[in-house]
Amino acid sequence: MALYLTKELDNDAKIYVWHITESEQELRENTSIPDDELEELTFLKSEARRKEKLAERALLNTIFEDERVYLGHHDNGKPYLQNLATEISISHTSDYVAIILHPDEALGIDIERLDRDFSAVEKKALSEDELDDLSDRHRSLQLAIYWCAKEAIYKRMSINGVDFAEQIEVERFNPHDEGEIDATFYYKDGTEEEFELEYMTFDNHVMVWVVG
């Protein structure tokens, strides 16, 4: 069982990252799993998805080692803790599970592999200004950060039918191993909301989060 990273933020949020090194069988044997989550696993045909969900539960058990927490999902897929007044956001790749928590602030987190093909992201999720800001030297990392930032904001907003290219604008940034970026969410009624996000890279992955 591998807790890879714990990060405490200045705004009282906490991030936990689990490295999925176990087999599905090892996760099942070493993780206490609520009955409803075990039932959900039976509907997942993909072994990779089952491992992600099992690692997610293993991480929750590690975070809340002194109490049993139950995970639910709203109709739009947004996760919530059924028996604890704590905000939560979750993201997975084949190798990692990331969870961010805050006592009461809305939040979002996203993690992606840097070797993922982001060509579809470039075509559908970026505005003309964002496309113009891409550099040849750091193009792959920039695309990954753009996508994770937009996903994190989308999760934080919890609104269906968001147009990533039109409604989420990420300000120009120079990518580094870690840093901060600014973004704006444009509501369909013409109002807008500004956000400050943070990101970090590790083990061929990038992770972006937003709180508040």
Task: Look up residue 172 and give its DSSP letter.
Answer: P
Q: Is the pLDDT of residue 40 over 80?
A: yes
Band the pLDDT of 1: cuts 50, 70, 90. Answer: low
Q: Rounded distance, CA 37 to CA 8, Å?
A: 28
Polymer length of the chain: 212
- pTM of the full structure: 0.95
Domain 111-211 superfamily per CATH: 4'-phosphopantetheinyl transferase domain (3.90.470.20)
5 backbone dihedrals φ, ψ, rounded to 5°: -155, 140
| Strand-pair partners of 169 | 184
Q: Is the pLDDT of residue 143 over 70?
A: yes
How crowded is residue 195: how many other Cβ atoms within 10 Å of its Cβ? 20
**Domain 3-104 fold:** Ribosomal Protein L22; Chain A (3.90.470)
Domain ranges of the chain: 3-104, 111-211
Q: Is the pLDDT of residue 5 over 90?
A: yes
Q: Average of pLDDT values for 171-189?
A: 96
CATH topology identical between 3-104 and 111-211: yes
Q: Is the pLDDT of residue 183 over 90?
A: yes
Q: Average of pLDDT values for 18-45?
A: 94
Q: Rounded distance, CA 90 to CA 105, Å?
A: 15
Q: Average of pLDDT values for 196-200?
A: 98
The amino acid at residue 195 is F
| 23, 15 contact by CB (below 8 A) | no
Q: Average of pLDDT values for 139-143?
A: 93
Band the pLDDT of 121: cuts 50, 70, 90. Answer: confident
Q: Average of pLDDT values for 137-166?
A: 95
Q: Average of pLDDT values for 8-33?
A: 95
Q: Tell me: the pLDDT tens digits for 69-110?
A: 999 999 888 999 999 999 999 999 999 999 999 999 999 999
